[in-house]
Amino acid sequence: MTVQPNSVEARDQAYQLHSYTNARALERDGALVIDRGEGVYVYDNSGKRYIEAMSGLWSVAVGFGEQRLVDAAVRQMSILPYYHTFTGRTHGPSVDLAEKLIQMAPVPMSKVYFTNSGSEANDTAMKMVWYRSNALGKPEKKKIISRVKGYHGVTIASASLTGLPNNHRSFDLPLSNILHTTCPHYRVFAQEGETEEEFVARCAGDLEDLILKEGPETVAAFIGEPVMGAGGVIVPPPGYWDAIQVVLRKYDILLIADEVICGFGRTGEMFGTTTFGLQPDIITVSKQLSSSYQPISALLINERVYAPLADESAKIGTFGHGFTASGHPVAAAVALENLAIIEERDLVGNVRELSPLFMKRLKAMEAHPLAVEARGVGLIGALELHSRDGFAAGQLGPKFAALMLDKGVIGRAIGDSIALCPPLIVDEQQINTIFDTFEASLDAFAKEIGAD
């Protein structure tokens, strides 16, 4: 990329530190500037069009440029541009959205607590779990179990829950009292000769062994994504969640379902909780809640969680936690309109209708010489590439994603896996275009690295 003096790219290099980016490489190469979006497409500042096959960051369910969401924001901005939900204050949009989320919840829930990102939601879930244990007179019951390769955010607490090395390295993480158990990726973590059923039993056994080692009286909660997203789109084997929940119930351990990526239709149901038969005590949501048109997230908590929190707040005099923008009226209004669009246009039905094509095209790429595994559910999937001599682990994915970007499709490299997560409004022709481009990119990449 040639960066012109005083261009957007040059000023970006001069002034901005980016997330999940090699800062020195950005200084050298510059950033891709996305200028506008329309439907499943985005355009850079030279006018080039891309299919945004990652929905931004797994999140733009209704596509880009949805006028109804713009209008909802403008209407609310003109009425009440901001108010808070501290000290017994409230406003209509936050009440309406809380009511809507309780009505939509896949299992009975009692209350909604608003935050501004998935990281904040999972961070708050940890604090709620600790507060609850103290309220119940169990101050030792504070440990939380996550999983290797799980992703739950980047605050100090939520990054500790995350089970990915680069979220811990050089940050002095994870915090104490955060534990990690076996990742449910059968191909990678199964032992030689182990069937899927045996692998599931071992995952549950590993969890139980960890609980017993730490002491059941010290373990408060288990957190997991129904389908792991940023860990590489890892779909658990059949029976996995049933086996895990048996262990959690046995030792009176709360289940937190991180639905930040799966929620609001991605898996072919409104929630991944339904797809995989979870019975969580806390559900965290964000991303497709507002299609990321506004920053907003939420925790749905059941009565088992809420009642001790309420009692403790009465004892202390307050629930001493909150964010300036929790339940922000503009964000809540946009989220309500976004959920209305998802329901009115039956976008979950669109996922169910198109998932067979999406998965057929994805699975077909396993036959390519560069491919090792395709995995996915609904409209979320990933293709993992074979490691190659001359390439360190994790180098193939970014190089391939750059080639696909050049051909007009935006995917995401997760190590040597390429993830796809198109907007829920995607149609059959666009899915075929995504995979036609993916396949052409595989062939071109194989020639480039001498693997054809």
Token digits for 369?
């010489």
265: left (phi over 0), alpha (psi -120 to 50) or beta: left
Q: Which of 448, 439, 346 is nearest to 396 (CA)?
A: 448
CA 267/CA 405 separation, integer angstroms = 25
Q: Are the C-beta atoms of residues 139 and 332 closer than 8 Å to each other?
A: no
Query: In this predicted model, what pLDDT tens digit does every residue of 231-247 receive, in sequence order?
Result: 999 999 999 999 999 99
pLDDT at 66 over 90: yes
pLDDT at 389 over 90: no
Token digits for 391?
């390439």
Query: In this predicted model, what pLDDT tens digit does every residue of 141-178 receive, in sequence order?
Result: 999 999 999 999 999 999 999 999 999 999 999 999 99
Q: Which of 297, 298, 328 is nearest to 76 (CA)?
A: 328
Quick one: pLDDT at residue 448?
87
Quick one: pLDDT at residue 450?
75
Strand partners, 221: 144, 254
CA 157/CA 345 separation, integer angstroms = 37
Query: In this predicted model, what pLDDT tens digit does every residue of 80-91 receive, in sequence order?
Result: 999 999 999 999
Query: In this predicted model, what pLDDT tens digit does every residue of 25-38 receive, in sequence order?
Result: 999 999 999 999 99
Q: Are the C-beta atoms of residues 97 and 332 closer than 8 Å to each other?
A: yes
CA 288/CA 230 separation, integer angstroms = 15
pLDDT at 122 over 60: yes
Query: In this predicted model, what pLDDT tens digit does every residue of 330-341 receive, in sequence order?
Result: 999 999 999 999
Quick one: pLDDT at residue 202?
98
Instruction: Give the C-alpha distances (Å, rounded to integers) separating 188 from 196, 199, 227, 390.
Output: 12, 11, 16, 22
Quick one: pLDDT at residue 211?
98
Q: Which of 293, 267, 297, 274 is nearest to 285 (CA)?
A: 297
SS3 per residue for the chain: CCCCCCCHHHHHHHHCCCCCCCHHHHHHHCCCCEEEEEECEEEECCCCEEEECCHHHHCCCCCECCHHHHHHHHHHHHHCCCCCCCCCCCCHHHHHHHHHHHHHCCCCCCEEEEECCHHHHHHHHHHHHHHHHHHCCCCCCCEEEEECCCCCCCCHHHHHHCCCHHHCCCCCCCCCCEEEECCCCHHHHCCCCCCHHHHHHHHHHHHHHHHHHHCHHHEEEEEECCCECCCCCECCCCCHHHHHHHHHHHCCCEEEEECCCCCCCCCCCCCHHHHHCCCCCEEEECHHHCCCCCCCEEEEECHHHHHHHHHHHHHHCCCCCCCCCCCCHHHHHHHHHHHHHHHHCCHHHHHHHHHHHHHHHHHHHHHCCCEEEEEEECCEEEEEECCCCCCCCCCHHHHHHHHHHHCCEECEEECCEEEECCCCCCCHHHHHHHHHHHHHHHHHHHHHCCCC
Q: For residue 191, what pLDDT band results from cuts at 50, 70 and 90?
A: very high
Q: Mean pLDDT, to the nearest integer, of 413-421?
A: 97
Q: Mean pLDDT, to the nearest integer, of 349-364?
A: 98
CA neighbours closer than 13 Å in the CB half-sphere of residue 406: 12
Quick one: pLDDT at residue 1?
56
Mean pLDDT of the chain: 96
Q: For residue 449, what pLDDT band results from cuts at 50, 70 and 90?
A: confident
CA 383/CA 379 separation, integer angstroms = 13
Quick one: pLDDT at residue 75?
98
Quick one: pLDDT at residue 333?
98
